[in-house]
Homo-oligomer: A and B are copies of this chain.
């Protein structure tokens, strides 16, 4: 029987790309659901057949039958995403909308994250922390993740040379005999210096693996919004690449993630076969969710529960407070962006025009010795028109990076509630220790083990927080320097232009 699907979000087809434009609420018949790559082939009531992003539709008859091909993708975190894509077609005024995550204001990112962490993050849904707290043997040997104690407190083991990579050279590729096209990025790590190619869906796969494996211990920021329409437009590709680069650098900087097999595979696979094998291996990995803590080995004395709890509380307070601060900056920055690209240039343009109009009136006076003034007035007018253009251009040169940085941190901070949640749950379990023993649900040895395990978790959390702090301090220093540097240039240039205009006037 043919599957009926209801359209959730409007989707506009890319020309010459075998896609089908659909309207929200429209009903489709799925003609081929095994296209893959997040696409299905469907037919609308007019009999037109084409490809539609599977994220944009749902089964008319409940969700279950789809689970097969619907299982490995999350619903689009923001329907705005679609508008974004469309308006990005006009890259000028859409500068703002072209940053869906960055400028859609507070809240969005977190909700989407929580949504899928609940629905799709094995670490959270059923298997609670007790899985680790009570598990029998810990991982031995090379898979261990040590935690040391430095002068700033517990820290991960940092590699001598920091891993780094460049995401570049987006190319349009196609498959299925040109039936479907996609964008492929070239990623070159500083270790091998050998470029590998990946599509967005591969980044997405990597993200899923990292989230499954490390999510309980390490917040894994989500990728730049998955987005379907407008994804072949230059503006959008540039922006996505910039953000994938940012995401990769953050992952490279992380001592635990950068050393993981799956991440290394992504950056250094030799050929298709190598990649396929690595993928299969990674998907079979069982040390995921809370079990990651079985691999963590703090080289420090156990912490008592109270201390563990205090630390956890402190981190949760800080990340919440920073999340608010970051969102405030994003809101204010968004406002400022709109003013700098909207009313301000218009106003300076009108000032410029007014001066030039007066100049041409003066020219008509028929009085001699008029030229110096009229020339000067015209130049002054032109200068203000230039200043108008400068204002409209400036945000791309400075505010953009300030916004991107805060947007990245908004995403990162959005992961902490889940990570910290795991710790809180563990702490609660340990608190129940005595009850559980009394109810002979666990032995007193197991209760002791639990205390030890929660201390391990706390060391991991502290190491992660210290990693977060040092990166934060570096990132904010860097981005503020860049922002202020550009702002200084901006105002200096305006002053210089005005000084030039000033020099044209004379008082006889």
A residues with CB within 8 A of B: 151-152, 314, 317-318, 321-322, 324-326, 328-329, 332-333, 335-336, 339, 343-344, 347, 350-351, 354-355, 357-358, 361-362, 364-370, 372-373, 376-377, 380, 465-466, 469-470, 472-474, 476-478, 480-481, 484-485, 487-488, 491-492, 494-495, 498-499, 501-502, 505-508
Contacts and interface: CB of A to CB of B under 8 A. Distances in A.
Contacts of A344: 339
A347 B343 contact: no
B487 A498 contact: yes
Contact of A484 (B152, B333, B465, B502): B502
B350 A339 contact: no
A335 B348 CA distance: 11
A389 to B, nearest CB: 16
Nearest to A355: B329
Contacts of A368: 151-152
A502 B476 contact: no
Nearest to A350: B332
A93 B366 CA distance: 42
Interface centre among A322, A333, A366, A495 (most CB of B within 10 A): A495
B488 A491 contact: no
23 contacts: A152-B369, A321-B364, A322-B358, A328-B358, A332-B347, A332-B351, A332-B354, A335-B350, A339-B347, A365-B469, A367-B469, A369-B473, A370-B469, A373-B476, A373-B477, A377-B476, A380-B480, A477-B505, A477-B508, A478-B507, A491-B491, A491-B498, A492-B495
A484 to B, nearest CB: 4
Interface of A, secondary structure class, is helix
Contacts of A377: 476, 480
Contacts of A328: 354, 357-358
Copies of this protein in the assembly total: 2
Given A318-B365, A364-B318, A469-B367, A376 B480 contact: yes
Q: For A333, A481, A491, which residue has the most chain B Cβ atoms within 10 angstroms?
A: A491
A55 to B, nearest CB: 34
Contacts of A336: 347, 351
Nearest to A480: B505
A501 B484 CA distance: 8
A484 B380 contact: yes
A354 B326 CA distance: 8
Given A332-B351, A347-B335, A361-B325, A488 B477 contact: no
Given A339-B347, A473-B508, A474-B508, 16 more contacts: A314-B366, A325-B354, A325-B357, A326-B358, A329-B358, A332-B354, A333-B351, A335-B347, A367-B473, A370-B469, A377-B476, A377-B480, A474-B507, A484-B498, A491-B492, A491-B498
B488 A499 contact: yes
A485 B318 CA distance: 48
A255 to B, nearest CB: 17
A216 to B, nearest CB: 22
Given A332-B351, A369-B473, A473-B373, A358 B325 contact: yes
A300 B499 CA distance: 45
